[in-house]
Each structure stands twice: as structure tokens, then as C-alpha cells.
Structure 1
Amino acid sequence: MKIIKGGVTAAKGFEAASVAAGIKYKDRTDMALIYSKKPCKTAGTFTTNVVKAAPVKWDKNVVENGIKSQAIVVNSGIANACTGEEGYGYCEETAKAAAKELGIEAEGVLIGSTGVIGMQLPIDKLKNGIAKLAVNKNKDIESGTQAAKAIMTTDTAEKEIAVTIEVGGKTVTIGGMAKGSGMIHPNMCTMLSFITTDAVISKKALQSALSEDVSETYNMISVDGDTSTNDTVLLLANGLAKNEKIKYGTKDYEKFAEALHIVNEYLAKKIAGDGEGATALFEVKVVGASDKTQAKTLAKSIVCSNLTKTAIAGHDANWGRILCAMGYSGAQFEPEKVDLFFESKAGKIQIIENGTAIDYSEEKATEILSQSEVTAIADIKEGAETATAWGCDLTHGYIDINADYRS
């Protein structure tokens, strides 16, 4: 497996485009298109929030009914959530407009929206944007990067990655782009992730690889505890690599799933580290757990603790907050067995042993916690299972961004 330059246009047969349609923003691109020259098998996972945005409902229908797709149309600025029948109707209008401009079937056009909840989309601007996207689409790497930039809201940077693997002597590529910065919480978040591959793969294998990996990647990140109405991960496979078909449970499936995990984990960490107002990616590893559920529950509880997140922002090794978060997580463990470490590029330091503080240098701890990526490692000494969660520090910048987000 090899990481290569690019994103959604890295795989054979995929093109992308971006445009400034004026949906909400006045000074930047705000619409993106991903297009495949050949109809694609689709897989997807979606928000667990009972309140689901119109595009989520539309895309679930496409994925769950096995409808092939050749395009994803995405807008930023307005989420098209809590918009009733009118908002869902705009999904249909968007799909028909894209189908007309691209010469494809409307029923398989996938849609993504992100931004303010409750506002109706300016559909005429959206349609005008689609016409421009269709003309501008290109297979080059830069077009993929610009598409990744166009779906940003409060993100500070685009998020994209591509990898290649060998399957039966053929090169298979997986590329992806994502957005997400706020309203981020386990069980996905205000995040959109779009992944393309040229693999020949069965529908079952495609959906299984995605569904099984989401619990280890996107569902293990948190910024602010809010699970969004718009969470969507879509995976499209057009088969242009011409490899022998990848089937569920085979060695080739395992290889594909591993590569997909690299893509998903990278994008998930980029989202977590780009949390609104954040200055550091906060990684939490729980080791020595008796089972995977216990490890995940503890890791999520620590990474979601606002008190812990503010301590990371202040570069303060306030280990009591971590033990406290573990204690209310709902997972059973023995506090008197816990060892805790902090680690970053500045080094590694042990803070507690068997549930109590040891003699450590506060100065060294502060240096370690002052880096842009910080890891807390909790060893509960009960078994061999591990889990990792990702979040960020919590600063006043989060309030600055969200106090007047609608305006």
C-alpha cells in the first residue's frame, strides 16, 4: 500500500469541480462536484440523529436500494436540514439539474449539504452552480483539491488523501475528501466524507468495508458533543481498475479494507484536529482493556470531557479530570490499577501509576502538552484490547466561532 498525492480524482475515471455559487458565502467557492465516467456501486453511512437533513434521506434511499451513481453534488453554507417537504424537493431538483447537465440518470445523483440548519436553499443559485460545475469538471489532482476546499464551512484547511494497493496484478486506487470542524461527536458529526475508488468490488464487500471501519474511525472522534443532522460518508466504486472482483471475506477484501481504513482514519484525524478554535489534536489511547467495548467507551469518555479538553488547551497535566471521565463513562474498571501517560513529539511522561500520582516534572509535562498533537495513554491492565479516540482542545475560539454562526 502506498499513499499518493491527491484526493477524489486520484482513482481512474473520476473528475471533480468547484464553483462560487453564492449559496451563503460571498467570498469563496461553495459548491463541489464529484463525477464518474462510469456508473458506480455505492455504499454509505449516515447520522444517527433522529433529525435527518433532506440530503441524508435522499442519499440513504440511493444507497439502500442499490441504485448506481455517477455524481455527487455538494454545497456548503446551508445544511438543508429541518426544511420540510420543500427542502426534500430541492434534492430532487438538484438531482434533475445535475442529470441534465451531465447526461446521467437523476435517481442516482447523490447530494451533500452542510452549513446553517433551518434555511431553505436558493435553488436557482444551486442550479446555476451545477451548470458551471459540469463545464469545469476535470480529472487532475488540483480539481480534486479545489473541490475539497469548496465543501469547507468553519474548517481551516481542506482534507484529502489517496492510496494505492495491488489486487491481482492491477493497481487499485482509493481517494477521499472530507469536511468537518464543529458539531462533531461520536456516531459521526457535522462531517461529510466522500470516497472514490476504481476497484471492481461487490456491493456487499463495498458496504461492509465501510460500515465496519466507521466504528473505528469517524465514530471515534469528537469536538463538542453535538451529533449533527447531516453526517454522511459515501463510497463510490466504478470498477475501472479492472481487477478481479473483490468479494467479502477474501484476502483481497482484507487488503481493500485496510487501505480504506488508512483513508478514513486520516480524514477522521484531520477533522478532529481542525475542531473549531482548536490548537491541538488530542488523541486518547486506552490499552490493556478486557474487551473492545470497554476500551472504546473509556477512550470516548476521556476525549469528550470538556474539563480534560480545557486542560489540554492550558497545557495542564490535570490527570484527575481524565480519571473522573473514565469513572462516569459507564465502563467498569479498577481505578487502582490505572497507569496514565502523556506523549507528543516533545517526549513521553508517566503521570500516575496504579491510580495515584507519581513524582514527575510539571515543566516536562507542560512541554509535552504544548505540542500541536498530544496523546494520553491510559493502561487499565485488564487484558489485551485497545481503542483510540480523537478530539481536540477546547478554547475560547470555539465560542467566538459559534456565538454568531448564523450571521
Structure 2
Amino acid sequence: MNIDNRFINELVRIINGALRLDIDKVRNYTSFLAEKLESAGDKSSADRLRKLLDEADNQLRPADVRFAKALPVDAESRFPLIEHVKLKTLQEPPLQLLQTQWDVVNEFVSVARSYASLDNPELSGALSFLMYGPPGTGKSRLARHIAKELGLDLYVARLDGLISSYLGSTSKNIRALFDFAAKTPCVLFLDEFDAIAKLRGDSQELGELKRVVNSFLQNLDTLGRQSIVLAATNHETLLDAAVWRRFTYRLALQLPSPEQREQMWSDFISPILFSKRDLTVLADLSEGFSGSDIGEVCARLKRRYFSTNNKPLHLKDAFPVLQNLAVGGEYGERFVARLANKDVIAIVQILRERNQRLYSLAMLAELLGLSKATVHRLSKREGGE
């Protein structure tokens, strides 16, 4: 009998749950296998599996109880500890990564597709991936991309919400979180990871938080090969050395390069607003911006565009928005922020010195909303041509 390799992982997980007498795990992965079979065109087999689940429900549980994935909640507040991200309806521009970064991501996805079914005693523990770098550099989007590629549900745990004011409750929350991941076919994404995985040697932290780190490490170690764990942090220097060792894949994400920024502008906005020449200028002016920052600028410009009955936008409309959103930010120096408090003469000088070919007199006139003659006169006053 030939079995499609796409379904081996789910069969292994179902058998694993049955051997452990874990009925929830068997149900969850059987339901997930039925979804995959139906997506592959085998509706008959999918219906047979769902019928088995319904019959088992009627035999082992009250008639009014139906199969559902109950999300873990905080024991005190009853707030959910995780959030289910609906990937099927989510539309996002493509990620902009360097080829070396894509190599790491693609290797992880390739291994994750078959990891649970590999028959090798040397392989143990959950497959894990740590992303780190400045805010807005694509960590959450990359988590969504990986889950989509694997065809798995994505559950996001915001770890600052796991920390309870009640002694010992945080460790219980972590246990509930990992119990859910062990029984459910999903990608578990630990966002704001540094909230829990801080250095145990930090003398300013309470003993409870240090115990929480130990609890996290123990729970991560007990996860089987059927589990996939992603984590993200903006403050990698706060992570305990033992935490680093638990993640078999690691990826640093930086602020985008000029080429990446130009592509981001193109993905976010150019089809309706800006030319290729404009994109090059916008990419240069947005030095120091993250991908999320550029997306925010584009969203603001598009709101203006649609609220003015599609009145054409120009570079002079984008320039003040860039300056406005450049203020603040913990990471990197945003070039355009240095122009915020300058007069027009100084701005002309700085941009001409930065790249005279890119910032021609005509381009500066368009960018600043001035006539070309005025820009020419200002550049002369500043010792220009």
C-alpha cells in the first residue's frame, strides 16, 4: 500500500497519541488529517474520518458536546493565553529577506515537513526557531509565512500576558500552553519572548521570574518531535544562555537594505501612486526605517489618497509624512529625522551632498513643492552649482 508522504506526519502523531492514551491528541490530529485529505481531493476518506470522530464523540462524551479546540486560559483571570491567527484570509505583501536568510528559513520548513516521522533515535525534542532583531523587521510576518508553508494553524502566545501576579500561576500557565501545543497540530509562536526567557542571573529580578525561566526550559524539553515552536524577541541580549541552546535554528533580522526598502515601497504602494524614480528617492529617504515603518507610511498615504477621491499623490506629499513618522524609535538613526528641524536651504544642501545625481534640481523641486528656479537659487546660496 502506498501512502502519500504528505499524510505520514499526521499518522505518526495520531499513533503517538493513541499509544499515550491521549484522546485529545488523537482527535485533533485526526481532524487535521481529514482537512488535509479533503484539500488533496480525497473527500471520501475525509468524511470517513469525521464520521469516526462523530461516533466516538457520541460514545464517550455527552451528546451535546462537540469536538472543539479549547484554548488554554489563565487560571485566575480566565483570559486566553494564546490567540489563533486566521491565515487563510490574511493577505500580506511578500517578505523581503536576504538569500542567506531565506536559506535558513527554507531549510527549517523542509525539515519541519518530515521531522515528526523520521525514524532516528538521535532526533528528539521539538523543532524550534528563534528570530531576533529590531521591532518591525518581519518576525511576526515570518512566523505567519512558516505556518502557511507548513499548512498548520498558527497560535500566538504573548508571553507578557502569561506572567501572573499570583505566585506559581505563571508556571502553571506555561504548562497549560505547552500541553496545548503537544496535543494540537499547530505552530506555536512565542512573541515578546524576552518577557519570560530573561537571564536567570539578573540580580534585579525576583526569584519567581527565575523559577519561571526554569519552568519554561523544562516544558520546552519535554515537547516531542511533533511540536513546532517559533519565538521572537527584540532584546536578544536579555536571553538566558540556556534558552539559546534550546533553539536549533536562529535568525537575525536587520533593518532593510536600500534595495529591500525600494521593493517594500513597491509592494506596499507603487501600483497606484509612485513611479520607479520616486521609489528610489523614497527608499533613500527611509533609511533607518523598518519594514513595518514603511508599511505605516504607505497606509497613511493611501488613506489620504482614497479620502481625497483618488487625487494623485506626489513626493511632496510623502516627504512630510516620512519626517513626521521618523521621530522617535529605539533602533537606528533615521536619515530623514535629521532634516526635520532644518530650513529649506539646509535640506537642499544636505540632499545635494548626499547624492547629487539622485537629488537633481528637478527632483528637489518636486520633493519640496518648489519651483526648479527657486531650488536652483537656494543651491547657489549654499555654494552649490
For this structure pair, what is the TM-score category when the shorter chain's length is used for normalisation?
Answer: under 0.3
Question: When you count helix as a share of all residues, which structure comes out higher?
Answer: 2
TM-score after normalising by structure 2: 0.26
Q: Name the structure where strand makes up a greater proportion of residues.
A: 1
Using structure 1 for the length normalisation, give the TM-score: 0.25
Which has the higher relative contact order, 1 or 2, with Cα contacts under 8 A spaced 6 or more apart? 1
User: Larger Cα Rg: Structure 1 or Structure 2?
Assistant: 2
